[in-house]
Amino acid sequence: MPNTYPKFVWPFASGPTGTIPFRVSGVDYLATIAAPASVYALLALDAADPQVGVDLIRAIETAINAASGAGIQLVTINHTPSAAEYGRIRATDSVGTFEWRWTQAHTFDETLLGFTAGADVASGGAGQYAYAQAQHTRGWYPRDVFAEDRLSRPAAEVATHRATSGVRRTYRFATKISRDVRFDFLSRTDILTAAATGADLNRDFEQLWDHLSQGGRVYYFPNMSYVGMYLSAAAFLATLRDQADMESFSAVADFMFPTVEFWRVALRLEGYVVP
């Protein structure tokens, strides 16, 4: 597989739900995020995707458009690796200025989305974006293409039974897939919670490490489409199998420059495809 920028996203333990205040063209509204059928994750799927029911991004966009009655507000995540807003949630209105109004009364926790608590954010005008101040929580966007993304051969889990009549019946329960993923040139802000502060808040690998090491599941998206959407058909819902390594090393790019610190991480993931 060619090197691409992937992302990892993992579900919230429950919810989240509540009210979100926003303003469009000077008019204030209040959107209500209802409880999902299972759990939410910040996936930014296409609206027609079969997994859209667990996508908190789509739930927020739907609630905002329902509250305004306009149907023209768009909520997405910036998926451009070179952008300063990489991994940040954003919203826009095609005909007016959009504002996240977190200074108004609300019950949704805006910090889960990467917003500074109690701080309003406005777009520059119609068709422009109002961005969260930091990347959203429960997601890791490594700012380096992967060095390795290797799939193992699928292993089918089956059970075969034979009746006394001689009739044999085979049941296939699922297909197990293992995946090794490695990154070689990551910065401290991509790795360490202590370094991921300010505009780099929530960017660190340590939060993903903690989640996986406690048996949590993660959506792994190996590739990014050029329209800024991830499709669940390309996602790999998995848990940590039996390996997770991270280490720091240094490299000297040139004798005129100081030593640069890099980090390497490797994950072995395991997931099931249910027929």
pLDDT digits (tens, 9 = 90+) for 51-68: 788 899 999 999 999 999
The predicted structure's pLDDT at residue 238: 80
Furthest-apart CA atoms within the chain: distance in Å: 81
**Euclidean distance between CA atoms 20 and 65, whole angstroms:** 12
Task: List the one residue out of 143, 88, 85, 82 whose CA is nearest residue 114.
Answer: 88
pTM: 0.85
pLDDT digits (tens, 9 = 90+) for 97-113: 999 999 999 999 999 99
Question: Would you kindly state where each structural domain of the chain is located, as residue ranges?
Answer: 7-140, 148-273
**Euclidean distance between CA atoms 24 and 95, whole angstroms:** 9
